[in-house]
């Protein structure tokens, strides 16, 4: 077995920097706000080091932007990285908070050699603007130790790995502090010197745990890692160092996330029709926006267009400090039907989805309606309006016949008849129904022409009131 370890020295910083382009120095401090934990290259250039006190760091760089460590967020971020790595490697194990293992011996044939695997991963990292230190090891622990020390090399040679491992100082081996001090007092400084000690003595004099760790690094003791499986949902988050006040500022981050979503969907061969966008504000409750497309969609470009419309309709209530986009609903891809081979004819189904999604994004879902007749004798109940649903677009028209003439316009509520009609044409047509559901209708309908020339559908109800209920348009 051969393991590749990816160590992200400042994942949180990378994550923040790719959502917003800033030049200044960045640092992550611990929860108490006392010590620096991670620094970006700019901050490092200014002389800020991890472990330094915050006051000292601010003395060195007054403009330093400070991020507070959020362990939950770090775990989520690491999972995000595992998601894309899962496309390249099947067996992945998380090592919170900063690293990932991928089993690569099984991938060599697929990629055509170890250097190709290494390159693929490096390229993927560069595409995502992430900093990671890679290392290969014949055991998970060896890979991890080498990566954390930044001494990783692209080699599968066990002897070479052990030599590199042996050169590591004891501090880098991750022993507990007490054992580390004792080993130092024994005059041991590198791992190779510890490797040479007899195992039994080591366990007796120091601790069995230390021996276990050494044996795991060397590969003489099994160190099983359970594989991680990506959850069946998509969730990405962008945090902003400077609060975003205009929707335009969100689009940059959204574009990157949507591109990732498109890749993810392409890779799954799936589509989605619902996107959830959560905008966090500093002092106010978070804004939740739901974007629905009328049909399955996977292209980042069309999602972005719709989101732009949605954001135009819902101006930001307060400056945004972070946004997260999640997708929980996935739909299987359907092969396009009715498209000719050369692609000359336009795909009307797709055009319909595009148009309906656009209109709904701007006007709201309920602004678009479809009408259908319904079997009821009462005119106001003889039709229904429903939100548009693309599936039913090509159904057959139900046969409506045998009824007397009906007007093309129906008033939403009957309008009192103000003047006697000029001419009467037909009637009465008695409609008496609805005793079963409390919406009783008991009317005599006539067709009459008003003096203005309009042809009206008028009725007289049981209380002798005259109303106009429709126009023969």
Report d(CA 275, CA 254) in Å as an integer.
Answer: 12
Secondary structure letter of residue 132 according to DSSP: -
Q: Rule CB under 8 A: say whether 466 interacts with other proteins.
A: yes
Q: Rule CB under 8 A: say whether 147 interacts with other proteins.
A: no
Apex 235 CA angle, 232 and 237, nearest 5: 165
Contacting residue, 1, 69, 411, 433, with other proteins by CB under 8 A: 411
Task: State the nearest-atom distance from the C-beta of 336 to other proteins, in Å.
Answer: 15
Q: Rule CB under 8 A: say whether 281 interacts with other proteins.
A: no
Give first-to-last CA distance, the chain, whole Å: 80
Report d(CA 161, CA 371) in Å as an integer.
Answer: 72
Contacting residue, 154, 188, 368, 431, with other proteins by CB under 8 A: 368
Report d(CA 415, CA 411) in Å as an integer.
Answer: 7
Q: Which two tokens stand for residue 4?
A: 């590749």
Q: Rule CB under 8 A: say whether 435 interacts with other proteins.
A: no
Q: Rule CB under 8 A: say whether 90 interacts with other proteins.
A: no
Q: Rule CB under 8 A: say whether 337 interacts with other proteins.
A: no
Backbone angles phi and psi of 70, in degrees to 5: -130, 105
Q: Is the CA virtual torsion 141, 146, 150, 153 positive or negative?
A: negative
Q: Which helix (H) or strand (E) holds 117?
A: helix 114-127
Task: State the nearest-atom distance from the C-beta of 464 to other proteins, in Å.
Answer: 6
Q: Rule CB under 8 A: say whether 339 interacts with other proteins.
A: no
Q: Rule CB under 8 A: say whether 406 interacts with other proteins.
A: yes
Q: Is 144 exposed, middle or buried (0-12, 13-18, 19+ CB in 10 A)?
A: buried
- Say if residues 406 and 394 touch (Cβ distance below 8 Å): no
Strand duo 270-281 + 287-297: pairing: antiparallel
Task: State the nearest-atom distance from the C-beta of 455 to other proteins, in Å.
Answer: 5
Instruction: Give 280's contacts (C-beta < 8 A, 6+ positions apart).
Output: 286, 320, 321, 322, 323, 324
Q: Rule CB under 8 A: say whether 397 interacts with other proteins.
A: yes
Residues 348-367 that bind other proteins (CB under 8 A): 348, 351-352, 354-355, 358-359, 362-363, 367
Scanning 168-176, 255-263, 291-299, 405-413 for contacts with other proteins by CB under 8 A, the matching segment is 405-413
Task: State the nearest-atom distance from the C-beta of 422 to other proteins, in Å.
Answer: 10
Contacting residue, 49, 163, 208, 383, with other proteins by CB under 8 A: 383
Q: Tell me whether residue 242 or residue 426 sits nearer to other proteins (CB atom).
A: 426
Contacting residue, 71, 393, 435, 462, with other proteins by CB under 8 A: 393
Scanning 127-135, 248-256, 270-278, 426-434 for contacts with other proteins by CB under 8 A, the matching segment is 426-434
Scanning 42-50, 224-232, 257-265, 389-397 for contacts with other proteins by CB under 8 A, the matching segment is 389-397
Q: Rule CB under 8 A: say whether 315 interacts with other proteins.
A: no
Q: Rule CB under 8 A: say whether 401 interacts with other proteins.
A: yes
Report d(CA 27, CA 10) in Å as an integer.
Answer: 9
Q: Tell me whether residue 47 or residue 390 sits nearer to other proteins (CB atom).
A: 390
Contacting residue, 196, 346, 436, 438, with other proteins by CB under 8 A: 346
- Say if residues 146 and 158 touch (Cβ distance below 8 Å): no
Q: Rule CB under 8 A: say whether 461 interacts with other proteins.
A: no
Q: Rule CB under 8 A: say whether 432 interacts with other proteins.
A: no
Contacting residue, 119, 370, 432, 439, with other proteins by CB under 8 A: 370
Q: Is the CA virtual torsion 111, 114, 116, 119 positive or negative?
A: positive
Instruction: Give 177's contacts (C-beta < 8 A, 6+ positions apart).
Output: none
Contacting residue, 24, 112, 336, 373, with other proteins by CB under 8 A: 373
Cα dihedral 146, 151, 156, 159, rounded to 10, equals: -80
Peptide bond into 455 cis (omega under 30): no
Q: For residue 271, what are the β-bridge partners?
A: 331
Count of residues in contact with other proteins, rule CB under 8 A: 69
Residues near other proteins (CB under 8 A) are 346, 348, 351-352, 354-355, 358-359, 362-363, 367-374, 379, 382-385, 388, 392-395, 397-398, 400-401, 403-412, 417, 419-421, 423-428, 444, 446-447, 449-450, 452-456, 460, 464, 466, 470-473
């Amino acid at each position: 077995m051969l393991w590749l370890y990816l160590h992200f020295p400042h994942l949180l910083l990378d994550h923040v920097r790719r959502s917003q382009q800033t030049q200044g120095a960045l640092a992550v401090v611990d929860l108490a706000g006392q010590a620096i934990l991670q620094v970006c290259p700019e901050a490092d250039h200014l002389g800020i080091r991890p472990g330094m006190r915050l006051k000292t760091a601010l003395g060195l760089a007054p403009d330093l932007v400070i991020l507070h460590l959020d362990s939950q967020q770090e775990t989520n971020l690491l999972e995000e990285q595992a998601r894309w790595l899962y496309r390249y490697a099947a067996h992945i194990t998380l090592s919170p908070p900063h690293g990932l293992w991928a089993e690569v011996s099984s991938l060599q044939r697929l990629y055509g050699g170890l250097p190709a695997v290494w390159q693929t991963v490096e390229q993927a990292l560069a595409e995502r603007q992430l900093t990671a230190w890679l290392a290969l090891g014949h055991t998970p622990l060896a890979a991890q130790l080498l990566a954390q020390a930044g001494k990783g090399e692209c080699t599968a040679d066990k002897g070479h790995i052990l030599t590199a491992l042996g050169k590591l100082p004891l501090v880098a081996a991750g022993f507990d502090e007490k054992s580390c001090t004792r080993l130092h007092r024994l005059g041991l400084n590198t791992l190779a010197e510890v490797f040479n000690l007899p195992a039994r003595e080591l366990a007796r004099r120091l601790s069995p745990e230390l021996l276990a760790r050494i044996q795991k690094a060397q590969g003489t003791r099994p160190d099983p890692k359970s594989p991680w499986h990506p959850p069946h949902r998509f969730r990405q988050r962008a945090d902003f160092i400077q609060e975003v006040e205009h929707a335009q500022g969100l689009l940059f981050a959204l574009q990157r996330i949507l591109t990732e979503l498109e890749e993810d969907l392409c890779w799954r061969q799936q589509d989605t029709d619902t996107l959830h966008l959560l905008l966090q504000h500093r002092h106010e409750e978070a804004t939740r926006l739901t974007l629905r497309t009328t049909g399955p969609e996977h292209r980042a470009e069309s999602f972005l267009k719709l989101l732009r419309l949605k954001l135009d309709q819902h101006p930001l209530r307060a400056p945004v400090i972070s946004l997260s986009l999640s997708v929980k609903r996935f739909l299987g891809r359907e092969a396009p039907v009715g498209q000719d081979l050369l692609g000359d004819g336009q795909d009307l189904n797709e055009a319909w989805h595009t148009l309906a999604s656009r209109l709904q994004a701007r006007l709201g879902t309920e602004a678009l309606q479809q009408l259908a007749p319904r079997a009821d004798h009462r005119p106001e109940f003889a039709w229904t309006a429903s939100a548009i649903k693309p599936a039913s677009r090509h159904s057959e028209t139900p046969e409506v016949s045998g009824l007397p003439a009906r007007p093309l316009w129906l008033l939403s509520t009957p309008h009192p008849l103000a003047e006697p009609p000029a001419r009467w044409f037909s009637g009465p047509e008695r409609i008496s129904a609805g005793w079963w559901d409390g919406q009783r209708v008991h009317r005599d309908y006539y067709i009459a022409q008003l003096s203005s020339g309009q042809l009206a559908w008028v009725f007289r109800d049981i209380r002798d009131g005259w109303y106009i209920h429709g126009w023969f348009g």
